[in-house]
Amino acid sequence: MNQKSINVLVIIVLIIVGAIVAYLQISKSQESVSYVETGEKEIETKLVMGVGYSTQPDVELAVQEAHNRMAEELGGQEPLFAILTSTVGFDQEEVLAAVNQLMPETKIYGYTSLLGIMTKEGFHIGEAVDEGQVLSLTGFVTEAMTFGVGACSLDEVGSSKEAGRVAIERAIEDAGKGLDEKPKIVLMSTSPFGIGEELVIEGVESVLGKDVPLAGGGVAAGYSDLVSGGEALFANNRVYPRGVVVVPIYTDLKIGHAFLAGFNPTGDKGEVTKFSGSNGCNILEIDNKPAAGVYNQWLGGLFDKYLGTSDMLLGEAVSYTLGKKVVEADGFSNWQMIVPFHFNPDDSITVGAVAKEGTELYLLESNPELFIQRPALAVRLARSRGEISEKEIAGVVMDQCGGTLLGITEGLPGWNRTVSLIGPAAGEAPFLGVSNLGPYGHFLGIGNRYGEVTASIIVFSKD
């Protein structure tokens, strides 16, 4: 074959190859479902998530900026459902009104966050540290999920348990589902401190049972003392200063969740032998001795100056807290955290979670490095339980107790390092991290619990 014939043959081959490539590209662009190559298999993308944030102090500008960033990650599509988070420096009624104006067809669930908000870009803080002006929007674009938003004000009903029951029943109705259909997971936020958080859980579980996981937290207030007010809950077009907001999610997509303490036992433990308070949140005696004295003795007199007072010791106690041992159904040894808020003149301890008579309490300890590493470990645990590979992750949502921020003593550099460690665990997926006043989570085979200084993680899969 002469050179001229070879050249002609090469040209013919190139034309054929080009035609095949063009056909494949056109066919791919016409598909209604997108795919992601994992190296092992192609993943059908049935859920797209996007997270947008803003530190603008002006409400309308902040909402617009957060919406723009979210929309960019969603490819310009408006979400079916969105999580709205905001720090307490904003007028929350104005925030929600601005969000509803931009996304009138989107179901909204959300709550205020302590001090700032985490995304994969870092930990975002507003100009005023104590109150903060930061907000975020996390959108879900999907036809494979059904969301219901339900809420109940504590002023509507006679108990926190009733509020939980009413809120979840309203959410189920909003989703167009029946009581016999079980959601895959439920997002939940409540008013913080003293409402009887575990009573709210009982109310929700009276409808759904113990096997449906809850994830979320007690809505956050100001930063200086963690209880300075300004908290708010969002449910579609209404702000609830006090109450319960829940979102059952119905789907066949994979979802992983984890509720991780990240503390180590010191070896000291005792039994609660006397308590008071309708919610069991005042421990009077441990091993038949004044509780404050026992706790302080375990710590070698660290809290001597607090004995006989009601001064807040939370800033130091977040690293030396109490916990109930929990062994989950998969054999994982975990802890339900019970944080001492303050001593009392009668040497009792006011704590944030229920610790009734007969409860065996362990003294647990953590440190700034463990607090920094814990969220990434929790993401990996949630991924493992949901059998979700890195390439399959659509997005990650974390509710973390705001006390953790106090435990990371270096402040913002440490908080940003937390985000940098979450990145490799979450891959390229969008990430929302919220700091609240005590998360809700699920222990496998046991049920849902409330506990401070804990990370509650949800990992959503694309398929």
Domain boundary among 365, 397, 421: 365
Using DSSP's 3-state secondary structure scheme, residue 249 falls into strand
Both 207 and 79 in one domain: the answer is yes
Measured CA to CA, the distance from residue 279 to residue 199 in angstroms comes to: 8
Both 57 and 117 in one domain: the answer is yes
pLDDT at position 20: 36
Both 340 and 427 in one domain: the answer is no
Distance of CA 198 to the CA centre of its chain: 17
List of long-range contacts for 292-299, beta carbons under 8 Å, 24+ apart: 292/343, 292/344, 292/347, 292/348, 292/349, 293/347, 294/270, 295/322, 295/340, 295/349, 295/363, 298/266, 298/268, 298/363, 299/363
Both 251 and 294 in one domain: the answer is no
Q: Which two tokens stand for residue 135?
A: 């907000």
Both 293 and 310 in one domain: the answer is yes
Domains: count for the chain: 2
Phi and psi (nearest 5°) for 319?
Answer: -95, -10
Is 42 a domain residue?
no
Both 448 and 304 in one domain: the answer is no
Both 341 and 376 in one domain: the answer is no
Domain range for 197 is 48-260+369-461
pLDDT at position 131: 63
How many of the other CB atoms lie within 10 Å of CB of 329? 9
Both 269 and 251 in one domain: the answer is no
pLDDT at position 278: 60
Is 426 a domain residue?
yes
Measured CA to CA, the distance from residue 305 to residue 292 in angstroms comes to: 12
Instruction: List 22's β-bridge partners, or say none.
Output: none
Both 188 and 286 in one domain: the answer is no
Is 28 a domain residue?
no
Both 280 and 335 in one domain: the answer is yes
Both 304 and 244 in one domain: the answer is no
Is 36 a domain residue?
no
pLDDT at position 251: 98
Domain boundary among 307, 339, 365: 365
Is 203 a domain residue?
yes
Measured CA to CA, the distance from residue 170 to residue 168 in angstroms comes to: 5
- Tens of each residue's pLDDT in the chain, 463 residues: 544 443 434 334 333 334 333 333 333 333 333 434 444 556 788 999 999 999 999 999 999 999 999 999 999 999 999 999 999 889 999 999 999 999 999 999 999 998 899 999 999 987 655 567 899 999 999 999 999 999 999 999 999 999 999 999 999 999 999 999 999 999 999 987 778 898 999 999 999 999 999 999 988 876 555 555 678 999 999 999 899 999 999 999 999 999 998 899 999 999 999 988 765 589 999 999 999 999 999 999 999 999 999 998 988 899 999 999 999 999 999 999 999 999 999 999 999 888 889 999 999 999 999 999 999 999 999 999 999 999 999 999 999 998 898 899 999 999 999 999 999 999 999 999 999 888 999 999 999 999 889 999 999 999 8
pLDDT at position 438: 87
Domain boundary among 309, 343, 365: 365
Instruction: Provide the strand spans (E) within 344-428.
Output: 349-351, 360-365, 393-401
pLDDT at position 432: 98
Is 17 a domain residue?
no
Q: Which two tokens stand for residue 370?
A: 């463990």
pLDDT at position 173: 98
Instruction: List 433's β-bridge partners, or say none.
Output: 118, 398
Both 229 and 95 in one domain: the answer is yes
Instruction: List 325's β-bridge partners, or say none.
Output: 335
Is 197 a domain residue?
yes
- Pairing mode, strands 431-436 and 393-401: parallel
The torsion of the CA quartet 55, 60, 61, 66, rounded to 10 degrees, works out to 60
pLDDT at position 406: 86
Q: List the one residue out of 384, 376, 393 whose CA is nearest residue 430.
A: 393
